Every structure is written in structure tokens, then in C-alpha cells.
């Protein structure tokens, strides 16, 4: 936690931490800070950089869908479940030392009711299926909500999800099933992890790019409401180093050559959003941003120094079971490295 954490460590502990930190710094020169990558094997992970370091997993875009529902046929619902099962097995076998899992949105392909009373009663719906599957890990998990998590139905003829016109009802479902708020933060070993929601701004009602002029699928572009950005500023004023989790990719320094999504800016947090002003003001505090949504593995920087990583999808188009991102975070130095 910067100087606050440094002051809290004994001289003996700082001495014990020095050599691992020096070695970790050398590794960064070899691997690159935040070196991009998905997958569960083949690369020897670096040792923990200090006695205070920890490891966690980021997954994204599982798009849990249930065979026989109206979206089956347009998507491979059974295939999505198999890929998610494979990703969970990879985490269990290759990364048992990961302390928790972060999900950067689109846990499901869509839901089929916006009534919270239809959930939490043992029924087999996509939300309950996601919960049952991820809890087999036996690890804490933290979920950011994505655009598909706000869909209350599926139009098979138009081949698209139907975004709910009552986002509060959809958020009530996720609160009931997963006990998650629309946005929130938690502190793990001295690092503040801030889970944001880019579906809570004015772009919620903007139709997704589509050949269908009457499209009912919205929320492809991200945006934030003022209340959330004010809350974010207060979170970033705290003394800890921070990591941000957002479903929608942000516009980065080299955005013109990055493949965050096939639809480009139409799938990112809008350029005029106040989020970027806040990120600029607290770029020394933000040590990484993790996004999803584009179904691709990508990396870049924001404001010249904040690493931004998109984790490729597990479900739907381009999805694969080995799209698992491994992250090491050192709260003593603020250094992050990914695989």
C-alpha cells in the first residue's frame, strides 16, 4: 500500500523481501510487466515476488446457456457448458494456489425472466447453473455484470438477446442469486479491487450494431452514471493500490491498432465518459484494469502507464476452456504480472 505498507513492515521483513523483489524485477524485464497471455500451461510462472504477494484468476464471457432454451441453435449451448467445465478443471488442476477468481462479465448468455421470484428456488436457469458450476471450485469469486447479464430473453428470429427495460430488476436477480451489488469493492491482502459496472450509464439504451433496425439488444457500448464515478473517486482516494474490473474495454493509448472487439469503439466505454478523467487523476494508484466483452486476448496501456488486459471469452464465438488469465499482485511494490 505504498508508503503506508512500507512503514508497517519490520526491517527484518523488508530485508527478506528484497531479494525476491529484485528477482521479480529482473523477471519483469524478461516477461514484460503485465505480459499478456491466456491459457493454463506451457509457461513457467514466476515465483512469488515477496512474502505478501498473491495469485488470482480472471475469466470472462462464459455465456452460460442451457440446452433446449430459445438461444440454442444460434449458439452451441452444450458446448458453452463444456468449455466452462474445462476452464474450471484447468483452474483446479493447474492453479490450486490461486486465492480467488474474478469474472469480468457476461456470466450468462441471457436470462428468461426479469422476476426475481423465479430465481433462488432450485430451478435450472442460466444464473443458477453458473453459480452451481463456479462454486465447485471451492474458492471465493467476484463477478462484474456485463451486457448479457441484463438480457431477459432471446429473439430467435432476430438471433439476438432482448435487453431488459428494467435494469433494476435484473440487478435484483443477481443480488439474489450471487449476492453481488451492481458495483462494489473489496480489499485482499492490502490491494483494493474495484468491480465496476459500465451498464449503468446512458449507453444502456443504445442499440447494438445490427442489420436489424428494430434491434432489442443494447448495452454493447459502455458508460457510467455519475453516482458510480463519484463513488469510484472516493475508492481511489484510499491508500491501497487498486485494480479495476470492468466488462467493457476502455479506450487505450494505442487503441487504433488494438483488436478489443470486431465492432471497435461501439463495444468500448464511450470516449466522453468521466471515467477517463478519474483514471488520469489516479493513475499512480491504479495498477491494472481487466476487461472482457470483446472475446479476444489483448493488452495495452491507459495514460501511458496503467496496464489494460482483455481476457478472451470462454463461451460463444471464439471461446475456449483455456482462456484463463493468471495474475500475480505484489501489494508491497504495486507490481502486477499476468500470464
Can you tell me which residue has the cell 425472466?
113
6 pLDDT above the threshold of 70: no
Q: pLDDT digit string (tens) for 213-223? A: 778 999 999 99
The predicted pLDDT at position 43 comes to: 52
- Residues whose CB is less than 8 angstroms from the CB of residue 209 and which lie 6 or more positions away in sequence, other chains included: 220, 263, 266
With vertex at residue 276, the alpha carbon angle to CA 270 and CA 278, rounded to the nearest 5 degrees, is 140
> Between these two residues, 101 and 22, which has the higher pLDDT value?
101
Q: Cell match 483455456: residue?
A: 322
Buried b (16+ CB within 10 A) or exposed e, 123-139: eebbbbbbbebbeebeb
* Tens digit of each residue's pLDDT (9 = 90 or more) over 252-295: 999 999 999 989 999 999 999 999 999 999 999 999 999 999 99
User: What are the tens digits of pLDDT across the range 125-140?
Assistant: 999 999 999 999 999 9
Four-point Cα dihedral 179, 324, 265, 33, nearest 10: 110
Q: What is the largest CA-CA distance in the chain?
A: 67
**Mean pLDDT for the chain?**
88
Q: Which three cell numbers stand for residue 97?
A: 494456489
Count of other CB atoms within 10 angstroms of residue 98: 20
Q: For the whole model, what pTM was predicted?
A: 0.86
Q: With a cut of 80, say whether residue 29 has pLDDT above it.
A: no
Quick one: how far is CA 265 from the chain centroid? 18
The residue among 124 and 193 whose pLDDT is bigger is 193
- Sign of the C-alpha dihedral, residues 14, 16, 19, 23? negative
Share of the chain above pLDDT 70, in %: 85
Domains and CATH numbers, the chain: 2-6+33-338 (3.60.21.10)
Residue 68 CA from chain centroid, whole number: 28
pLDDT-derived band at 9, boundaries 50, 70, 90:
very low
Q: Which cell is 266 given?
A: 461501439
As a whole number, mean pLDDT of residues 58-86 equals 97
Q: What is the pLDDT of residue 121?
A: 76
Residues 139-197: tens digit of each pLDDT:
999 999 999 999 999 999 999 999 999 999 999 999 999 999 999 999 999 999 999 99
SS3 of residue 299 by DSSP: strand
Q: Tell me how far apart the alpha carbons of residues 75 and 317 are, in angstroms, rounded to a whole number.
A: 8
Q: How many residues does the chain have?
A: 339
Contact 248, 269 (CB under 8 A): yes
Q: Are 320 and 83 in contact (CB under 8 A)?
A: yes
What's the angle, vertex CA 270, arms to CA 198 and CA 274, rounded to 5?
Answer: 75
Lookup result for grid cell 493447474? 94
Q: Which residue has the higher pLDDT, 4 or 40?
A: 40
Closest CA to 108 of 147, 74, 142: 147
Please tell me the predicted confidence (pLDDT) of residue 132.
96
The per-residue pLDDT for 213 is: 78
123 band by pLDDT with thresholds 50, 70 and 90: confident
Would you tell me how many other CB atoms lie within 10 Å of the CB of residue 205?
A: 11
33 burial (CB, 10 Å; 0-12 / 13-18 / 19+) is: middle
Cβ proximity of 330 and 56 under 8 Å:
no
Name the band, by pLDDT with cuts 50, 70 and 90, for residue 115: very high
Residues 238-248 pLDDT 10s: 999 999 999 99
Label residue 13 by pLDDT band (50, 70, 90): very low
Amino acid at each position: 500500500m505504498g508508503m503506508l505498507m512500507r512503514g508497517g513492515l519490520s526491517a527484518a521483513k523488508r530485508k527478506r523481501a528484497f531479494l525476491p523483489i529484485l528477482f521479480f524485477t529482473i523477471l519483469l524485464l524478461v516477461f514484460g510487466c503485465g505480459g499478456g497471455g491466456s491459457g493454463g500451461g506451457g509457461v513457467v510462472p514466476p515465483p512469488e515476488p515477496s512474502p505478501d504477494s498473491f495469485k488470482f484468476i480472471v475469466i470472462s464471457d462464459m455465456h452460460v446457456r442451457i440446452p433446449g432454451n430459445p438461444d440454442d441453435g444460434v449458439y452451441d449451448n452444450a458446448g458453452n457448458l463444456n468449455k466452462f467445465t474445462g476452464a474450471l478443471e484447468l483452474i483446479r488442476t493447474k492453479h490450486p494456489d490461486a486465492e480467488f477468481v474474478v469474472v469480468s462479465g457476461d456470466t450468462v448468455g441471457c436470462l428468461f425472466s426479469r422476476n426475481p421470484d423465479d430465481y433462488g428456488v432450485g430451478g435450472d436457469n442460466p444464473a443458477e447453473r453458473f453459480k452451481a458450476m463456479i462454486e465447485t471450485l471451492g474458492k471465493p469469486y467476484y463477478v462484474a455484470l456485463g451486457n448479457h447479464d441484463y438480457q431477459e430473453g432471446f429473439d430467435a428470429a432476430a438471433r439476438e438477446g432482448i435487453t431488459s427495460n428494467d435494469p433494476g430488476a435484473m440487478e435484483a436477480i443477481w443480488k439474489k442469486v450471487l449476492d453481488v451489488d451492481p458495483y462494489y469493492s473489496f480489499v485482499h491482502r492490502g490491494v483494493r479491487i474495484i468491480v465496476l459496472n459500465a451498464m449503468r450509464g446512458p449507453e444502456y439504451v443504445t442499440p447494438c450494431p445490427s442489420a436489424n433496425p428494430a434491434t432489442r439488444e443494447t448495452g454493447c457500448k459502455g458508460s457510467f452514471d455519475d453516482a458510480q464515478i463519484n463513488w469510484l473517486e472516493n475508492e481511489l482516494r484510499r491508500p491501497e493500490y487498486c485494480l479495476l474490473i470492468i466488462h467493457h474495454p476502455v479506450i487505450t493509448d494505442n487503441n487504433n491498432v488494438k483488436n478489443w472487439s470486431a465492432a471497435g469503439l461501439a463495444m468500448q466505454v464511450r470516449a466522453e465518459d468521466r471515467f477517463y478523467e478519474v483514471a488520469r487523476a489516479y493513475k499512480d494508484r491504479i495498477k491494472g484494469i481487466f476487461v472482457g466483452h470483446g472475446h479476444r486476448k489483448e493488452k495495452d496501456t491507459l495514460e501511458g502507464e496503467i496496464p489494460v488486459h482483455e481476457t478472451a471469452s470462454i463461451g460463444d464465438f471464439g471461446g475456449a476452456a483455456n482462456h484463463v488469465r493468471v495474475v500475480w499482485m505484489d501489494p508491497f511494490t504495486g507490481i502486477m504480472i499476468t500470464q
